């Protein structure tokens, strides 16, 4: 099930919220969320809900065993076994086909098992891993209730596509949390903004990207290729950040506070800054659970960075283009660290444009899973292949899609946030405070309803509604 479906918007979520608020008991509400979270996951993949339940049970048991172990050596063995089983489970479902395919290229004749990828497995595997490691480190207390641990793992607002939530972030909220009208108001607005980003921007940008990049590259003009990859660049951002907004908003409705996952990454002045703003929960996971334990900056920094970016690439998909994508960003970050003093003297506007250009090149690697097609796509982008620079038909296409492109560009900047802050500041003026507060609430509700109505109309009239990060 996806948030941006009519069934979820108008049936699943209203019923879940209604049942959730029937009683104020936290224990009751936790049971409600566990039931609805399992139903949410099972709606699309009823078989693979067993994998989710098994993963939760396995890590719950490891947490108790490690937390109850008086011997450090025994705890370390249990931790190693837990990590191996978690990565083995993830590896089987996500990478077995890729492994067999590459072994066959070496001369073997293996038959790859027919295994579908359980949606969200990368996200909840990283969550359970972080819990077991933090228990071993003594940074969190052992969760003695399997139901409450299952709630942490399966909580449906962030189950499918993140953000990756660490147990330490919501441990106190599982047993005690407060929900008031202010948090519900904020959560609903944040959800509607995310829905609008997903349905009204990402879907339309994605349709154009698909039209440009998925057809015959020999018939594609250079202008068309750039339009396509730019639209994919914005689709990826508005799709994933929109889902994160919806997850954060729904979490707030239920009383949970999730950390931000995106912070306007396309205005970054360096690749380092970009990765501090993009998919923050994943970047911080690799930093705290891979990079620093390997030695961080203290020893073998280059090797540690290489390992992290190879794993980051593979985390995104079982394909060589993702490996290249990870290596690409490793090289950029490695170079950047050695010329930081030179870059500091470059004007900010040039650094922003060059960073954005390099990120777009990275998303080209990300988009093309077929390496031969990847090379051809770069050839069209830089005028070596394809149907020339532009055409009359392409000129019309560019003109028709210019408004959407401008919306994507402006929506990726600080402008929407600035407008919201100005409006909120005006309504927070002490003079006529009560009246302005009422205006603020009325205008915000009207804005929410407007976004919901537009999204509903769009969903009714179109079947194009992919969630890119579901495959991870």
Query: Would you report the helix, strand and coil content of the chain in percent, each value rounded to 5?
Result: 75, 0, 25
pTM over 0.85: yes
Residues 160, 470 contacting (CB under 8 angstroms)? yes
pLDDT in tens, 79-132: 999 999 999 999 998 888 888 888 887 777 777 777 788 888 888 999 999 999
Residues 165, 127 contacting (CB under 8 angstroms)? yes
Q: What is the 3-state secondary structure (H, E, C) of the chain?
A: CCCCCHHHHHHHHHHHHHHHCCCCCHHHHHHHHHHHHHHHHHHHCCCCHHHHHHHHHHHHHHHHHHHCCCCHHHHHHHHHHHHHHHHHHHHHHHHHHHHHHHHHHCCCCCCCCCCCCCCCHHHHHHHHHHHHHHHHHCCCCCCCCHHHHHHHHHCHHHHCCCCCCCHHHHHHHHHCCCCCHHHHHHHHHHHHHHHHHHHHHHHHHHHHHHHHHCCCHHHCCHHHHHHHHHHHHHHHHHHHHHHHHHHHHHHHHCCCCCCCCCCCHHHCCCHHHHHHHCCHHHHHHHHHHHHHHHCCCCCCHHHHHHHHHHHHHHHHCCCHHHHHHHHHHHHHHHHHHHCHHHHCCCCHHHHHHHHHHHHHHHHHHHHCCCHHHHHHHHHHHCCCCCCCCCCHHHHHHHHHHHHHHHHHHHHCCCHHHHHHHHHHHHHCCCCCHHHHHHHHHHHHHHHHHHHHHHHHHHHHHCCCCCCHHHHC
- 375 vs 368: CA distance, rounded Å: 9
Average pLDDT for 239-265 = 93
pLDDT in tens, 258-282: 999 999 999 999 999 999 999 999 9
Quote the pLDDT of residue 428.
59
Q: Which helix (H) or strand (E) holds 420?
A: helix 415-427
Residues 364, 382 contacting (CB under 8 angstroms)? no
Average pLDDT for 51-68 = 92
Q: pLDDT tier at 163 (50, 70, 90 boundaries)?
A: confident
Average pLDDT for 319-337 = 94
- Give the residue carrying structure tokens 């609903």: 188
Whether residue 3 is predicted with pLDDT greater than 90 in this model: the reply is no
In Å, what is the CA distance from 445 to each residue of 5, 95, 143, 193?
Answer: 21, 45, 39, 12
Q: What are the residue numbers of the active site?
A: 316
Q: What percent of the chain has pLDDT over 70?
A: 94
- Give the 3-state secondary structure of residue 392: helix
For 409, the token pair is 């560009």
Quote the pLDDT of residue 432.
54
Whether residue 431 is predicted with pLDDT greater than 60 in this model: the reply is no
Q: What percent of the chain has pLDDT over 90?
A: 59
> Quick one: DSSP state of residue 214?
S
- 365 vs 225: CA distance, rounded Å: 14
For 264-289, give one letter per residue: b (16+ CB within 10 A) or e. Answer: bbbbbbbbebbbebbbbbbbbbbeeb
To the nearest whole number, what is the mean pLDDT of the chain?
Answer: 89
Whether residue 37 is predicted with pLDDT greater than 60 in this model: the reply is yes
Average pLDDT for 186-201 = 94
Quote the pLDDT of residue 424.
64
In Å, what is the CA distance from 333 to each residue of 17, 149, 274, 384?
Answer: 44, 37, 10, 28
**Can you list the alpha helix ranges (DSSP code H) found in 138-221?**
146-154, 156-159, 167-175, 181-196, 203-213
Helix axes 146-154, 167-175, angle to 10 degrees: 130
Residue 179, by phi and psi: left (phi above 0), alpha (psi -120 to 50) or beta? beta
Whether residue 435 is predicted with pLDDT greater than 70 in this model: the reply is no
For 425, the token pair is 């500041």
Helices (H) and strands (E) in the chain, counts: 23, 0
Quote the pLDDT of residue 433.
62
Quote the pLDDT of residue 301.
87
> Quick one: DSSP state of residue 267?
G
């Amino acid at each position: 099930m996806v948030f941006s479906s009519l069934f979820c918007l108008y049936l699943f979520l209203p019923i879940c919220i209604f049942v959730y608020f029937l009683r104020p008991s936290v224990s009751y509400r936790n049971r409600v969320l566990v039931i609805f979270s399992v139903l949410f996951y099972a709606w699309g993949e009823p078989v693979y809900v067993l994998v989710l339940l098994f993963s939760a049970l396995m890590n719950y048991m490891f947490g108790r065993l490690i937390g109850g172990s008086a011997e450090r050596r025994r705890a370390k063995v249990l931790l190693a076994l837990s990590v191996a089983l978690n990565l083995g489970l993830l590896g089987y479902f996500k990478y077995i086909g890729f492994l067999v395919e590459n072994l066959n290229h070496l001369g073997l004749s293996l038959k790859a098992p027919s295994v579908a990828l359980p949606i969200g497995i990368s996200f909840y595997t990283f969550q359970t891993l972080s819990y077991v490691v933090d228990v071993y480190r003594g940074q969190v207390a052992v969760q003695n209730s399997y139901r409450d641990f299952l709630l942490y793992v399966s909580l449906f607002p962030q189950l499918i596509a993140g953000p990756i939530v660490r147990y330490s972030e919501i441990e106190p909220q599982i047993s005690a949390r407060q929900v008031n009208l202010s948090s519900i108001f904020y959560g609903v607005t944040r959800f509607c903004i995310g829905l609008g980003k997903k349905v009204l921007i990402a879907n339309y940008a994605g349709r154009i990207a698909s039209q440009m990049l998925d057809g015959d590259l020999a018939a594609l003009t250079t202008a068309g290729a750039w339009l396509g990859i730019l639209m994919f660049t914005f689709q990826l951002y508005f799709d994933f950040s929109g889902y994160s907004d919806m997850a954060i908003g729904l979490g707030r409705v239920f009383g949970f506070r999730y950390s931000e996952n995106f912070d306007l990454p396309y205005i970054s002045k360096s690749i380092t800054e970009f990765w501090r703003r993009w998919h923050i929960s994943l970047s911080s996971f690799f930093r705290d659970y891979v990079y620093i334990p390997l030695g961080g900056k203290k020893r073998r920094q280059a090797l540690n960075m290489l390992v992290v970016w190879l794993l980051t690439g593979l985390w995104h998909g079982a394909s060589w283009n993702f490996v290249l994508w990870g290596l690409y960003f490793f090289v950029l970050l490695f170079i950047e660290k050695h010329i930081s003093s030179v870059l500091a003297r470059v004007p900010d506007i040039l650094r922003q444009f060059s960073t954005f250009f390099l990120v777009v090149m990275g998303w080209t690697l990300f988009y093309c899973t077929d390496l031969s097609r990847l090379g051809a796509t770069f050839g069209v982008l830089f005028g070596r292949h394809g149907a020339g620079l532009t055409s009359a038909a392409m000129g019309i296409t560019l003109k028709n899609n210019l408004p959407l492109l401008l919306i994507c560009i402006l929506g990726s900047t600080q402008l929407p946030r600035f407008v919201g802050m100005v409006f909120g500041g005006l309504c927070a003026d002490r003079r006529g405070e009560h009246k302005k507060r009422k205006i603020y609430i009325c205008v915000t509700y009207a804005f929410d309803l407007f976004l919901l109505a537009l999204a509903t109309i769009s969903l009714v009239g179109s079947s194009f509604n992919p969630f890119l990060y579901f495959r991870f």
